Amino acid sequence: MGVRSSDFSKAGLAALESLAAERDALRVKLAEAEALADRDALAPVLNRRAFLRELHRTMSEVERYKSPAAVLYIDLDGFKALNDGYGHAAGDAVLTHVGRLLLDSVRESDVVGRLGGDEFGVILNRAPADEARVKATTLSDKINASAMLYAGVAHRIRASVGVHAIALVEDPETAIARADEAMYAEKHARRAQAFAAF
């Protein structure tokens, strides 16, 4: 009794279909793993590595298309005192709260990431410097006006925000450093105003 070639072709087709299904499942798992690798461990935003990658991409677009963009550097004032006074779980809850607030307050084309500790970054794509400054003020006001309830206590959060319009010839780390410098200048100016008011 012989084996017909049609039996081989059916078996071969079934094997190919099975391999294709396995390949597709592996692609989905790989995409999920890559997405998890880009996410911050606490806040629902990108981690520093992924944020820098997106900043590099934005800077390439700025250079190629001459479209304006800016990076914001956000530092949460008094975060260490909250962490020390109420514990790391309270600090983690604040980071999650601020991450969600930032994501809800920017456009889909913008990028939010946690740069480390209590510092966040926002990439404002196709945003001229004046528009970026307005957005920085809006985000600062939203964070400063928000309160997070943790263990029955409403915790007020304050933020300092620095703005840096992305230049044509600079690298991502330099852009973040310039935004960080602007944030510290804004923080010191606000402290000086508060001191002068006494």
Task: Write out pLDDT tens, residues 32-42.
Answer: 555 558 999 99
Catalytic annotation on 118?
yes
- Tokens representing 56 are 């590099």
- Residues facing 69 on adjacent strands: 125
Tens digit of each residue's pLDDT (9 = 90 or more) over 176-186 = 999 999 999 99
Domain ranges of the chain: 1-38, 48-196
Quick one: pLDDT at residue 193? Answer: 77
Q: Is the pTM of this model over 0.85?
A: no
Rounded CA gap, 122 and 103, in Å? 9
Could you tell me which CATH class the domain 48-196 is placed in? alpha beta
Burial annotation 85-107 (CB, 10 A radius, 16+ → b, else e):
ebeeebbebbbbbbbebbbeebe
- The least confident of 15-24, 73-82, 111-120, 183-192 is 15-24
Distance from C-alpha of 160 to C-alpha of 75, rounded to nearest angstrom: 5
User: Which of 110, 118, 130, 171 does the annotation list as catalytic?
Assistant: 118
Section 77-103 average pLDDT: 93
Neighbouring CB atoms inside 10 A of 170's CB total 15
